[in-house]
A and B are shown apart, each in its own frame.
Chain A
Amino acid sequence: QKEVEQNSGPLSVPEGAIASLNCTYSDRGSQSFFWYRQYSGKSPELIMSIYSNGDKEDGRFTAQLNKASQYVSLLIRDSQPSDSATYLCASPNTGNQFYFGTGTSLTVIP
């Protein structure tokens, strides 16, 4: 079982819709979770961090964490074509090594 798993997609949504990206993790001791956005040919960019159960909102982005279910998600409201990218979920395990999911490719269709 991988430490962090994501739906590989690809995911396509129309402009203005909500994009929902999901991630599960295996280490119950993990305390922090991160979402990165990576445009083609560029390096990953940190867009959200979440440490507590519940929702964390930042502009059009909402991260949701459910530690009981070992599940973290990212919602992108009012999706824009500029949101088209690969989104990576990441978490350090109890050994403090960062693990990344394989990424979900999102395309926002104008």
Chain B
Amino acid sequence: KAGVTQTPRYLIKTRGQQVTLSCSPISGHRSVSWYQQTPGQGLQFLFEYFSETQRNKGNFPGRFSGRQFSNSRSEMNVSTLELGDSALYLCASRSTEQFFGPGTRLTVL
């Protein structure tokens, strides 16, 4: 069974731009969660989608948004990028156990 995939793997943007990250979950998994990981903050939960509905949400500003499609694929969007948004963005899918994708490393210049 294929694992969680994320695209792109690396991204460089400038302040003020917006970015969209994509995640394809493990086949059969309907839950997709997004996390931000920075060296100083560890894993920070952004949001979780289940069957196209946002089920849980972390404490991030409204610039961070997401959605899930009927095939369970998910996208995350960050608008008006700030330098502090530079991080590894991880997607995870689960049934009972949660599995992570390889992540997208976003650098904001």
Contact flag A100-B42 (CB < 8 Å), given A43-B90, A44-B90, A95-B56:
yes
A97 engages B48 (CB within 8 Å): yes
Contact flag A97-B43 (CB < 8 Å), given A32-B96, A43-B90, A44-B90:
no
Can you name the residue of chain A whose Cβ is closest to the Cβ of B91? A43
User: What residues of B have a CB within 8 angstroms of the CB of A99 in the complex?
Assistant: 45
User: Contacting A97 at CB < 8 Å: which of B56, B99, B100, B102?
Assistant: B56
Contact flag A46-B99 (CB < 8 Å), given A96-B55, A97-B56:
yes
A34 engages B97 (CB within 8 Å): yes
A46 engages B98 (CB within 8 Å): yes
User: Contacting A100 at CB < 8 Å: which of B43, B55, B88, B97?
Assistant: B43
- CB of A102 within 8 A of chain B? yes
Q: Interface size on A (CB < 8 Å)?
A: 19
Q: Bits for B66-77, please: 1 = Cβ < 8 Å to A, else 0.
A: 000000000000
- CB of B24 within 8 A of chain A? no
* Bound: A97/B43 CA distance, A: 14
- CB of A23 within 8 A of chain B? no
User: Contacting B42 at CB < 8 Å: which of A34, A46, A96, A103?
Assistant: A103
- CB of A49 within 8 A of chain B? yes
Contact flag A43-B97 (CB < 8 Å), given A98-B45, A100-B42, A100-B43:
no
Q: Bits for A35-64, please: 1 = Cβ < 8 Å to B, else 0.
A: 010000011111001000000000000000
Task: Name the 8 nearest CB pairs between A and B, nearest first.
Answer: A43-B100, A97-B56, A100-B43, A102-B42, A43-B103, A44-B100, A43-B102, A43-B90
Q: Which residues of B contact A (CB under 8 A)?
A: 33, 42-43, 45, 48, 55-56, 88, 90, 92, 94, 96-103
Q: Which residues of A contact B (CB under 8 A)?
A: 32, 34, 36, 42-46, 49, 88, 90, 95-100, 102-103
A43-B103, A46-B98, A97-B56 known; 10 other A-B pairs, CB under 8 Å?
A32-B96, A42-B103, A46-B97, A46-B100, A96-B55, A97-B48, A97-B55, A100-B43, A102-B42, A103-B42
